[in-house]
Amino acid sequence: MTGSNTLDKAKGFKKSKPGLYLSIGTTLFGALSVTKQLRKARGESDALLLADAVVSAAAIATGVALLYRELKRLGDDDVLLG
Protein backbone atom coordinates (compact mmCIF):
# COMPACT_ATOMS: atom_id res chain seq x y z
CA MET A 1 0.00 0.00 0.00
CA THR A 2 1.65 3.17 -1.15
CA GLY A 3 -0.68 5.47 0.84
CA SER A 4 0.49 4.07 4.16
CA ASN A 5 4.13 4.19 3.04
CA THR A 6 3.78 7.84 2.04
CA LEU A 7 2.20 8.67 5.38
CA ASP A 8 5.01 6.88 7.21
CA LYS A 9 7.58 8.88 5.24
CA ALA A 10 5.82 12.14 6.13
CA LYS A 11 5.76 11.22 9.81
CA GLY A 12 9.43 10.27 9.62
CA PHE A 13 10.33 13.60 8.00
CA LYS A 14 8.67 15.51 10.82
CA LYS A 15 11.02 13.86 13.32
CA SER A 16 14.13 14.24 11.14
CA LYS A 17 16.65 17.06 11.47
CA PRO A 18 15.57 18.79 8.24
CA GLY A 19 11.94 18.42 9.28
CA LEU A 20 12.64 19.96 12.68
CA TYR A 21 14.55 22.84 11.09
CA LEU A 22 11.62 23.43 8.76
CA SER A 23 9.21 23.35 11.69
CA ILE A 24 11.30 25.89 13.61
CA GLY A 25 11.43 28.13 10.54
CA THR A 26 7.70 28.04 9.94
CA THR A 27 7.02 28.61 13.64
CA LEU A 28 9.30 31.64 13.67
CA PHE A 29 7.62 32.88 10.49
CA GLY A 30 4.42 32.99 12.54
CA ALA A 31 6.18 35.50 14.78
CA LEU A 32 5.82 38.05 11.98
CA SER A 33 2.06 37.85 12.28
CA VAL A 34 2.26 38.25 16.05
CA THR A 35 4.53 41.29 15.63
CA LYS A 36 1.95 42.92 13.37
CA GLN A 37 -0.75 42.06 15.87
CA LEU A 38 1.27 43.65 18.70
CA ARG A 39 1.78 46.84 16.71
CA LYS A 40 -1.90 47.05 15.88
CA ALA A 41 -2.89 46.46 19.52
CA ARG A 42 -0.54 49.19 20.74
CA GLY A 43 -1.68 51.61 18.06
CA GLU A 44 -5.33 51.09 18.92
CA SER A 45 -4.69 50.78 22.68
CA ASP A 46 -6.67 47.54 22.58
CA ALA A 47 -5.92 45.58 25.76
CA LEU A 48 -7.73 42.44 24.59
CA LEU A 49 -5.88 42.33 21.28
CA LEU A 50 -2.62 42.94 23.15
CA ALA A 51 -3.35 40.05 25.52
CA ASP A 52 -4.09 37.80 22.54
CA ALA A 53 -0.79 38.78 20.90
CA VAL A 54 1.15 38.10 24.11
CA VAL A 55 -0.43 34.66 24.47
CA SER A 56 0.34 33.92 20.81
CA ALA A 57 3.95 35.01 21.30
CA ALA A 58 4.23 32.72 24.32
CA ALA A 59 2.86 29.82 22.26
CA ILE A 60 5.44 30.48 19.54
CA ALA A 61 8.27 30.64 22.08
CA THR A 62 7.12 27.39 23.65
CA GLY A 63 6.84 25.70 20.27
CA VAL A 64 10.35 26.74 19.26
CA ALA A 65 11.71 25.57 22.63
CA LEU A 66 10.06 22.16 22.19
CA LEU A 67 11.43 21.80 18.65
CA TYR A 68 14.90 22.86 19.83
CA ARG A 69 14.77 20.24 22.59
CA GLU A 70 13.82 17.60 20.03
CA LEU A 71 16.77 18.63 17.87
CA LYS A 72 19.09 18.27 20.84
CA ARG A 73 17.70 14.78 21.48
CA LEU A 74 18.59 13.78 17.94
CA GLY A 75 22.22 14.56 18.78
CA ASP A 76 22.72 17.27 16.22
CA ASP A 77 26.38 18.28 15.86
CA ASP A 78 25.45 21.66 14.42
CA VAL A 79 27.68 24.52 15.61
CA LEU A 80 24.63 26.71 16.21
CA LEU A 81 23.23 24.29 18.78
CA GLY A 82 26.42 24.07 20.83
pLDDT of residue 75: 75
Give the span between the Cα atoms of 16 and 37, in whole angstroms: 32
pLDDT of residue 81: 52
pLDDT of residue 73: 85
Q: Where do the structural domains in the chain lie, given as residue ranges?
A: 2-74
Question: Can you give the C-alpha Rg of the chain in angstroms?
Answer: 17
Q: Is 80 helix (H, G, I), strand (E, B) or coil?
A: helix
Torsion angles phi and psi, residue 71, rounded to 5? -60, -45
Q: Tens digit of pLDDT for each residue in 33-42?
A: 999 999 999 9
